[in-house]
Amino acid sequence: MGNKTALHDLIGIEHHKLNFFQELQQNIQELKGINRESEDQRCEIAAILDGITDVMMVLSEDLTIISVNRVFEQLFPGLNPIGKKCYTLFRESEHACPECPAFKSLSTNSVCKDTAIFRIDGKNLQFDMVASPLKTPGTEEDRILIFKRDVTMEKEYQAKFYQAEKMATIGVLAAGVAHEINNPMAAVAGFAEGIQRRLTRLDDKIPDELAEDLYDYTNTILKECLRCQDIVKTLLSFSRPVASEFIPVDINQVAEDTLRLLDHQFRRYQQMELEVKLASPMQSILGNEAQLKQVLLNLLTNAVDAIEHNGKINIETFVENKHVGVRVSDSGCGIPEASRGMLFEPFFTTKQVGKGIGIGLSTCYNIVREHNGEIIVDSEEGKGSSFTVLFPL
């Protein structure tokens, strides 16, 4: 009897053990399911973040990069950004950008937006930025979530649209200018030639000194009439349709034609000093002559506005490192550091109201890009600016 009781107790113990192990196994399976579900959620979140086509960064309060997404790694391949300052990567600067939306987002505790141009891998890229503060439970330090969307191509197409409108307007105006100026100039030149023919009949009747002055005056009239005709031809070249293929262009000739178009401005301001250095011999580049003249015209006009008609403007052409370059420098007011990153954005301008609408440099930027070139800006506030345009040979 005692043996039966012992056996019964032993069977009960084994039964309890079996139940315990079954419950333990069930709990383990449940934990595995929870872990699997958690892992699936993490994978799903990672897939969502990798599916975002914008550059995404999580920054600390001092703008140290904490984490990034896959697009960031594509923008900076082979670089580990964790622990680095964002401005050292995007601005190559040792100091934070004063206009950074991350600071505004932290100070206002709101979502802030901004647009900026960053030079990455030798190219100017435009980004729309959105910064949002992140409140992390259980920590005192706040973080910032920043999205940067590459809008370079959108801005280029937008600038092309404005340029097309501008060129269409110039075409209409140029046709009217050609008609309204060429006809009077032809009449003035014709009467000047008539005066010269009649002077030959009066050689014996007027003093030699007076005859010499009259010949000089009429020759000057004829010379200036021809110059006006050249100016009209140069103006008309800006309204010609863009060629489907680039042709060899002499950048020295482009500079001379553009300077001729602005000659009246340089003559008007006696305190303005113009220095021209054109490299010789000069190699040709493949491009659209009318568009290249438009680039140089915008740069020279900006230089004239920067010196406020009292200063020095330098224009030079050169060949170096398999590139043809043209540089326009001025001794004007310079460009504030906070504005340099937005120079090539449409409708951004540092000029006073009525002086410009801010599409000149954005148009230049897109024309130069279409020619596989680049624009380099070097400016110091209060000392002047220099714009260097480089084109491949």
Quickly list DSSP for 53-78. Answer: -SEEEEE-TT-BEEEE-HHHHHHSTT
Sheet containing 384-392: give its strands across. Answer: 272-277, 311-320, 323-330, 384-392, 374-380
Task: Mark which of 220, 241, 262 sits at the end of a domain.
Answer: 241
Is residue 90's pLDDT more than 70? yes
Q: Does residue 157 sit within a domain? A: yes
**pLDDT tier at 344 (50, 70, 90 boundaries)?**
low
122 belongs to a structural domain: yes
* Angle separating helix axes 152-199 and 360-370, nearest 10 degrees: 100
Task: Name the pLDDT band for 376 (thresholds 50, 70, 90).
Answer: confident
What is the domain count for the chain? 3
Minimum mean pLDDT range among 215-219, 303-307, 346-350: 346-350
Do 381 and 270 fall into the same domain? yes
Residue 96, domain CATH = 3.30.450.20
- Please compute the mean of the pLDDT values over residues 41-64 and round it to a whole number: 73
Domain shared by 257 and 361, yes or no: yes
Is 364 a domain residue?
yes
pLDDT score for 315: 92
Q: Peptide bond before 281: cis, by omega within 30 degrees of 0? A: yes
Domain shared by 165 and 191, yes or no: yes
Tokens encoding 197: 């023919």
Mean pLDDT for all residues in the chain: 76
Q: What whole-number distance in Å separates Cα of residue 262 and Cα of residue 171?
A: 18
Same domain, residue pair 251 and 228: no
Q: Are 274 and 316 in contact (CB under 8 A)?
A: no
Residue 146 covered by a domain: yes
* Judgement on whether residues 255 and 214 belong to the same structural domain of the protein: no
Same domain, 130 and 156: no
Backbone dihedral region for residue 243 (phi beyond 0: left; psi -120 to 50: alpha; all else: beta) = beta
Is 19 inside a domain boundary? no
Q: Based on the fold, state whether residues 229 and 356 are members of the same structural domain.
A: no
Q: Are residues 233 and 249 in the same domain?
A: no
pTM score, two decimals?
0.46
- Residue 285, Cβ neighbours under 10 Å: how many? 22
Q: The domain containing residue 388 runs over which residues?
A: 245-393
Domain assignment of residue 8, yes or no: no
Q: How confident is the model at residue 381 (pLDDT cuts 50, 70, 90)?
A: confident
- Domain end position, chosen among 241, 267, 286: 241
| Listed residues 225, 241, 257: the one ending a domain | 241
Q: Closest by alpha carbon to 373, among 152, 124, 197, 195? A: 124
